[in-house]
């Protein structure tokens, strides 16, 4: 299938690539702060190390492709990919995990396809999924919000560089709220909420994660205000997720898939809605296309969370929708100026 | 003699069924998880390919165009059944592991393609050689992918070789990265097959481009050649 370029009128430019990327990076700060407060400095190590690896791979790949290093490195796209990948990984992840993720994100998913703007899939999500599929043990063990206080920064660093995952220290790791709901098939939700400290100490959705998601929501709203992206995709995704999770909530029985509030404010929901599916390269280009793209991503997130094998689903949903984006674009071409109707497809006569 | 050289070069490199024609990708991607699986299926395909090329070449003047394709498929199916029975008799465990992919050799387009494109137009000896070269080219690529995926995915190579070569081959297994290697699971999973195949094709293209460049530099260097000769060279 041909990749269709977006038709005019083209969106008004916010600035060059570098400034937009910087703005998105700045918008990540509240979420990163929340992550650091609840899960420790390991989050920051992840970010620093992954950024270094990503920049290294980007420079090497550009060099091999005979591109100008300074120009492409200064657009901050590699760092943004690194940050998005790093905050999806468990804190104090071993260095080889980060290296491997950075390699697949930058070299395989981005540069092999021709660099920024030519990648059909979101690089950070490719990196994440390769790691999740290849190293399930290291990838699914998160430090618990209570446990991280017992891990000193030195211990954490030692773990990072000895190549052992922190998960091997007993008692400091815990399932995420989504995991808990997924594994449950005997208890009523209210019983889980009363017994499990992840929920009993939380304000409304799950200890730590609610604030992390709130942070990313704030950052996302800032980007929306700055017109870095339009509201269509995130709003439709969150709406679809809310409606589906409300339909299958069934009042909190033992087979409930969790409340809408839990789904909106745990895992990577807000990160996905505002930072991942709004990626201008890999998502749909028209407003109508973005609405369909976002809504279907939301549906997929819920389907995979409720009946899939993995606890969180943002990355899988985003990649599946990346596959579908050219197809959606094909059927949602906007009306061009001077024509009464939008042309569906390529070869139809006006 | 030169003709035979060209046929071999075609099958093994220039027109390799797996890397250039991209035929028979289904078994190529599905069973290349380890060297032993790849070698097993590669040998089976090689046997069927040589057998079908021989038969097709022998009957090429007796079969009319109208029933050409059904006849080829019948021949290939017979050879596949023979191979399947042989594997069931001598390498039963491997036969079970490869499962549906042995009977599926019938649908491998590389085999039907060679029957239609080469064997039914050529004499017996070149057809045998073509079947052997194509089959060997396919098998080598299959084994290369199997080796890369096995090394990355499990850290060992030549594991379970006794399935094909008997008990003596049990000790062929070599552990490359020591006990602590966790295994890069995606390499043995289906995405790994696509990634490794894509990378192998890329490597082949790089080598081809390099060789072309060298050949061009070589043909350019003797300045005595006239301009006209060079243009005909290029158009040919």
**Band of pLDDT at residue A172, cut at 50, 70 and 90:** low
**A143 forms bridges with which residues in the sheet?**
A173
Residue A236 confidence (pLDDT): 95
Tell me which chain B residues have a C-beta less than 8 angstroms from the C-beta of A133. Answer: 185-186, 189, 191
Partner residue facing A135 (CB), from B182, B187, B189: B182
Average pLDDT of chain A, as a whole number? 83
Residue A137 confidence (pLDDT): 79
- Inform me whether the pLDDT recorded for A101 exceeds 80: yes
Backbone angles phi, psi at A11, to 5 degrees: -65, 145
| Structure tokens given for A164 | 């052992």
Q: Parallel, antiparallel, or unpaired for β A142-143 and B156-157?
A: unpaired
* Contact (Cβ atoms closer than 8 angstroms) between residue A277 and residue A318: yes
Chain A nearest CA to B199, separation (Å): 10
Tell me which chain A residues have a C-beta less than 8 angstroms from the C-beta of B195. Answer: 108
How far apart (Å, rounded) are the C-alpha atoms in residues A6 and A284?
9
Partner residue facing B184 (CB), from A108, A134, A136: A134
| Structure tokens given for A71 | 């120009």
Residue B235 confidence (pLDDT): 46
Residues with Cβ within 8 Å of residue B1, at least 6 apart in sequence: none
By the CB < 8 Å criterion, does A130 face chain B? yes
Percent of chain A with pLDDT over 90: 38
Average pLDDT over residues A59-83: 89
DSSP state of A23: H
Residue A49 confidence (pLDDT): 93
How far apart (Å, rounded) are the C-alpha atoms in residues B132 and B127?
8
| pLDDT tens digit sequence for B160-187 | 887 887 777 777 788 877 777 777 888 8
Chain A nearest CA to B21, separation (Å): 21
* Contact (Cβ atoms closer than 8 angstroms) between residue B36 and residue B149: no
Interface test with B, best of A109, A134, A136, A315 (most B CBs within 10 A): A134
How far apart (Å, rounded) are the C-alpha atoms in residues B47 and B153?
29
Tell me which chain A residues have a C-beta less than 8 angstroms from the C-beta of B184. Answer: 100, 134
Identify the closest residue of chain A to B186 by CA–CA distance.
Answer: A134
Residue B233 confidence (pLDDT): 47
Identify the closest residue of chain B to A138 by CA–CA distance.
Answer: B182
A77-88 vs A17-39: helix axis angle to the nearest 10? 20
Backbone angles phi, psi at B142, to 5 degrees: -60, -45
> Minimum mean pLDDT among A93-97, A172-176, A179-183: which range?
A172-176
Q: Do A133 and B182 touch (CB under 8 A)?
A: no
| pLDDT tens digit sequence for B186-212 | 888 888 999 999 999 999 999 999 999
Tokens 């929901």 belong to: A269
Q: Do A134 and B191 touch (CB under 8 A)?
A: no
Residue A249 confidence (pLDDT): 84
E strands, chain A, are: 142-143, 173-174
Tell me which chain B residues have a C-beta less than 8 angstroms from the C-beta of A134. Answer: 183-187
**A142 forms bridges with which residues in the sheet?**
A174
Highest-confidence segment of A159-173, A335-349, B62-76: B62-76
How far apart (Å, rounded) are the C-alpha atoms in residues A310 and A326?
27
**Coil vs helix vs strand at A282:** coil
> Minimum mean pLDDT among A82-91, A201-210, B134-143: which range?
A201-210
How far apart (Å, rounded) are the C-alpha atoms in residues A343 and A318?
27
- Inform me whether the pLDDT recorded for A57 exceeds 90: yes
| pLDDT tens digit sequence for A108-136 | 999 999 888 899 999 999 999 999 989 88
Interface test with A, best of B186, B193, B206 (most A CBs within 10 A): B186
Percent of chain A with pLDDT over 70: 87
Average pLDDT of chain B, as a whole number? 85
Average pLDDT over residues A233-259: 87
What's the Rg (C-alpha) of chain A? 21
* Contact (Cβ atoms closer than 8 angstroms) between residue A266 and residue A177: yes
How far apart (Å, rounded) are the C-alpha atoms in residues A281 and A146?
39
Closest CA to B47 of B11, B84, B17: B84
**Coil vs helix vs strand at B120:** helix
A residues 81-120 lying closer than 8 A (beta carbon) to B: 100, 108
| pLDDT tens digit sequence for A12-36 | 555 678 888 999 999 999 999 998 8
With a cut of 0.85, is the ipTM above it?
A: no
**Coil vs helix vs strand at B158:** coil
Q: Do A133 and B184 touch (CB under 8 A)?
A: no
- Inform me whether the pLDDT recorded for B236 exceeds 70: no
- Inform me whether the pLDDT recorded for A167 exceeds 60: no
Residue A178 confidence (pLDDT): 80
Identify the closest residue of chain A to B181 by CA–CA distance.
Answer: A163
Tell me which chain B residues have a C-beta less than 8 angstroms from the C-beta of A136. Answer: 185
How far apart (Å, rounded) are the C-alpha atoms in residues B175 and B158?
9
> Minimum mean pLDDT among A58-62, A146-150, B44-48: which range?
A146-150
| Structure tokens given for B105 | 């050799």
**Band of pLDDT at residue B225, cut at 50, 70 and 90:** low
Residue A255 confidence (pLDDT): 75
How far apart (Å, rounded) are the C-alpha atoms in residues A285 and B99?
45
Q: Do B189 and A108 touch (CB under 8 A)?
A: no
By the CB < 8 Å criterion, does A168 face chain B? no
- Inform me whether the pLDDT recorded for A217 exceeds 50: yes
**Coil vs helix vs strand at A9:** coil
| Structure tokens given for B129 | 């050689």
């Amino acid at each position: 299938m041909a990749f269709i370029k977006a038709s005019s009128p083209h969106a008004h430019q916010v600035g060059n690539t570098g400034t937009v990327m910087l703005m998105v990076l700045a918008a990540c700060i509240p979420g990163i702060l929340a992550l650091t407060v609840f899960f420790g400095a390991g989050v920051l190590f992840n970010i620093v190390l992954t950024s270094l690896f990503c920049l290294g791979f980007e420079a090497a790949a550009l060099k091999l492709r005979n591109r100008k290093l300074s120009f492409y490195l200064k657009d901050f796209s590699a760092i943004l990919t690194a940050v998005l990948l790093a905050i999806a990984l468990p804190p104090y992840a071993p260095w080889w995990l980060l290296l491997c993720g950075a390699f697949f994100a930058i070299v395989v998913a981005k540069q092999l396809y021709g660099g920024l703007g030519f990648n059909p899939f979101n690089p950070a999500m490719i990196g994440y999924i390769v790691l999740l599929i290849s190293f399930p043990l290291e990838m699914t063990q998160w430090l618990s919000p209570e446990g991280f206080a017992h891990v000193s920064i030195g211990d954490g660093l030692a773990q990072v560089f000895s190549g052992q995952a922190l998960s091997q220290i007993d008692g400091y790791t815990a399932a995420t709220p989504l995991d808990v709901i997924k594994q449950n098939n005997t208890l009523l939700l209210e019983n889980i909420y009363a017994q499990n400290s992840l929920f009993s100490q939380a304000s409304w959705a799950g200890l730590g994660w609610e604030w992390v998601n709130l942070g990313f929501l704030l950052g996302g709203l800032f980007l929306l205000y700055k017109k870095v992206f339009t509201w269509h995709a995130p709003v439709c995704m969150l709406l679809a997720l809310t409606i589906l999770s409300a339909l299958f909530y069934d009042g909190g029985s033992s087979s409930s898939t969790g409340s809408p509030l839990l789904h909106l404010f745990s895992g990577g929901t807000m990160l996905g809605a505002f930072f991942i599916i709004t990626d201008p390269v890999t998502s749909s280009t028209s407003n109508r296309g973005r609405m369909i793209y976002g809504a279907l991503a939301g549906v997929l997130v819920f389907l995979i969370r409720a009946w899939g094998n993995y606890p969180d689903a943002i990355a899988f949903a985003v990649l599946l929708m990346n596959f579908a984006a050219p197809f959606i674009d094909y059927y949602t071409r906007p009306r061009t100026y001077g024509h009464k109707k939008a042309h569906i497809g390529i070869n139809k006569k006006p | 003699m030169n003709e035979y050289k060209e046929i071999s070069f075609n099958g093994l490199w220039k027109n390799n069924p797996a890397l250039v024609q991209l035929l028979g990708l289904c078994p190529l991607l599905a069973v290349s998880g380890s060297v032993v699986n790849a070698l097993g299926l590669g040998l089976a395909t090689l046997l069927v390919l040589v057998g079908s090329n021989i038969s097709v070449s022998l009957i090429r003047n007796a079969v009319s165009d109208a029933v050409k394709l059904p006849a080829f498929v019948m021949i290939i199916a017979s050879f596949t059944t023979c191979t399947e029975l042989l594997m069931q008799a001598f390498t039963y465990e491997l036969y079970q592991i490869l499962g549906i992919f042995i009977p599926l050799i019938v649908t491998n387009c590389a085999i039907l393609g060679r029957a239609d494109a080469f064997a039914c137009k050529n004499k017996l000896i070149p057809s045998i050689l073509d079947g052997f070269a194509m089959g060997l080219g396919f098998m080598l690529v299959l084994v290369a992918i199997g080796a890369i995926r096995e090394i990355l995915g499990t850290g060992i190579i030549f594991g379970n070789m006794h399935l094909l070569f008997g008990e003596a081959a049990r000790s062929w297994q070599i552990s490359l990265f020591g006990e602590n290697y966790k295994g890069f699971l995606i390499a043995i999973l289906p995405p790994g097959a696509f990634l490794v195949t894509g990378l192998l094709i890329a490597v082949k293209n790089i080598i081809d481009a390099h060789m072309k460049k060298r050949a061009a530099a070589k043909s350019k260097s003797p300045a005595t050649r006239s301009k006209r000769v060079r243009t005909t060279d290029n158009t040919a």
